[in-house]
Amino acid sequence: MTRANNVRPWWEAGVVYQIYPRSFQDSDGDGIGDLEGVRQRLDHIVALGADAIWLSPIFPSPMADFGYDVADYCNIDPMFGDLDHFDALLSEAHARGLKLLLDFVPNHTSDQHPWFIESRASRDNPKRDWYFWRDPASGGGPPNNWMSDMGGSAWEFDKRTGQYYLHAFLKEQADLNWRNPEVRKAMDDVLHFWFARGVDGFRIDVLWHCIKAEGLPDNPPNPDYYRELGEKFLVLQHNSANRPEIHAIAANFRTIADQYGDRLLVGEICLPVPALMEYYGNDQAPGVHLPFNFQLLDAPWDAAALAALITQYEAALPPGGWPNWVMGSHDAPRIAGRLGDAQARVAAMLLLTLRGTPTLYQGDELGIGLVRIPQDRIRDPQDLRQPGLGLGRDGARTPMAWDSSPHGGFSTAEPWLPLHEDWERRNVAAQASDANSMLSLYRRLMALRRGSPALSIGTKSAIKGEDGVLVYQRKHENECLLVALNLTSEPRDLPLPSSVRQCLASTIANRRFDGTLLPDEGVVLQLEEY
Ligand code: GLC
Ligand code: MG
């Protein structure tokens, strides 16, 4: 984590844009987005001002979990195109100066992956030990008390051989045994395959799950369990995830990535901050470059609480560890759905002015809000298997709206999920020509960030959260900026240092800042050089 020659890697100043390929752009009229569609829409990402795109999984898959159940790690699902489409997308992205990250899913494969099909064929199959097969408990039933993240036991009984196999997620997603050296070798080969093809990095799916406690002992019961959370919280993931051995696995991924130069590894890790920090690794064994920081996804939208959260996160970073921030994803409710339209604008300013690499999720730049999915159109297995708990992720996965043509220009056919209700107004074309739109705000902020070392790589002063207003400074060399975010829907006076020179951005277009923050207003002010 100490930097060799003081050269900053591209991703420190960069902004990552997450594409959910099923819902970005359909090019072949099947109502489902594809790689050719992404290629056709690259200009949107350039105009927005992102530096990298991360594609959620595009590999052959039965789609039980919409691609997070991979049946072949080194190919493209025909629904999305083929390797030629992929190469065309990659080279056009590179030609536009965009990096491209793929989604690596090492914890589990599809139950249709040839490895699992072999593994389940017989107890003495050479691939039997690639997965977790166990006899029923002595009194019958699953071998231990581990719960699936999608509800129910994490074990599925397979009649053919009379044993259970482990799945931390759906039963169609069988967990790989990362203590088996052949599994490690096979997955290393996957990384080499894509790096050699030119991809710039990976987001690593559920990294903290990859290795389990030796002997698979029961998990301790969760003292805080209550029914509303869903049964997956019945036990703590003490033995089934976040084991110390995971860090050697992450370090090995990093060694592979480093062989290819300036590549990026982002780890999906849903753990409290102290445990999260371990995934940066250390100088001897660096881990992933960016362990995803998901705290803003469910933080209380309160200035004092956010100030404390940001301060604690920064303080916990290991030396040389670069921060990162996430406000939305294909798994989380939409920002504007959570905070409302006006505060979603303030959230955009927060995401793009905090110190660290932001990840922006497709559609949030339009301010898509809460999308209610009619019962008969629910597709998310998490929602279908645990109905009524409000766990549905479809609302964040609805198609992009590009213009006011049928289906928002997303497809010539009925899309696999419905569009947001106000798509005829809330689409890229309409917002591009409206200086006051969410899209214009994102473009302004990203352009400001790109031109400002203080914002992209600068230091951050202590952050204050008082009276509903969050205030911090960003500095680099002579450049000094002050960010003030009004998290309330009332005006707030902003006690200003005398050194204020001008207002570089407000969440409200064409606004002349006069010392009072309007309701729901955020500003970036330029201070006198020093
Ligand atoms: C990650 C993905 C999520 C998926 C799960 C299982 O959390 O983001 O969509 O369901 O892993 O692969
Ligand atoms: Mg298609």
Using the mean position of ligand 2's atoms as its centre, give its distance from the Cα of residue 76 in Å.
13
- Say which residues have a Cβ less than 8 Å from residue 315's Cβ, sequence separation at least 6: none
Write out pLDDT tens, residues 81-121.
999 999 999 999 999 999 999 999 999 999 999 999 999 99
Write out pLDDT tens, residues 221-277.
999 998 777 888 999 999 999 999 999 999 999 999 999 999 999 999 999 999 999
End-to-end CA distance of the chain: 30
pLDDT at residue 3 is higher than 60: no
pLDDT at 498: 85
Ligand at minimal distance from the CA of 294 is 1
Three-state secondary-structure class, residue 31: coil
Q: Where are the domains of the chain?
A: 4-107+181-448, 114-175, 454-527
Contact 34, 80 (CB under 8 A): yes
pLDDT at 229: 76
What pTM does this model have? 0.97
Q: CA 138, CA 448: separation in Å to the nearest integer?
A: 64
Q: What CATH code is assigned to 454-527?
A: 2.60.40.1180
Report the CATH superfamily, name and number, of domain 114-175. Oligo-1,6-glucosidase; Domain 2 (3.90.400.10)
- Say which residues have a Cβ less than 8 Å from residue 351's Cβ, sequence separation at least 6: 296, 325, 327, 358, 360
Contact 231, 150 (CB under 8 A): no
Nearest CA to ligand 1 atom 2: 205
314 catalytic, yes or no? no
Contacts for 459-463: CB closer than 8 Å, 24+ residues apart: 459/355, 460/314, 460/354, 460/355, 462/311, 463/307, 463/310, 463/311
Q: Give the amino acid at 399.
A: P
Using the mean position of ligand 2's atoms as its centre, give its distance from the Cα of residue 392 in Å.
23
Q: CA 366, CA 351: separation in Å to the nearest integer?
A: 15
Buried/exposed 370-389: b ≥16 CB within 10 Å, e otherwise: ebebeeeebbbbbbebbeeb
Ligand at minimal distance from the CA of 81 is 2
> Out of 64-68, 147-151, 199-203, 210-214, which region has the weakest mean confidence (pLDDT)?
147-151
394 lines ligand 1 (CB under 6 A): no
Percentage of the chain exceeding pLDDT 70: 99
65 lines ligand 1 (CB under 6 A): yes
Residue of 12, 149, 268, 331 marked active site: 268
Contact 309, 345 (CB under 8 A): no
pLDDT at 1: 53
Q: CA 6, CA 8: separation in Å to the nearest integer?
A: 6
Q: Which CATH architecture has domain 4-107+181-448?
A: Alpha-Beta Barrel (3.20)
Ligand 1 pocket, mutate which of 22, 55, 68 (most atoms under 8 A from CB): 68
pLDDT at 237: 95
206 lines ligand 1 (CB under 6 A): yes
Residue of 205, 365, 380, 394 marked active site: 205
169 lines ligand 1 (CB under 6 A): yes
Q: How many CB atoms lie within 10 A of CB 96?
A: 11
331 catalytic, yes or no? no
Write out pLDDT tens, residues 389-434.
888 999 999 999 999 999 999 999 999 999 999 999 999 999 999 9
68 lines ligand 1 (CB under 6 A): yes
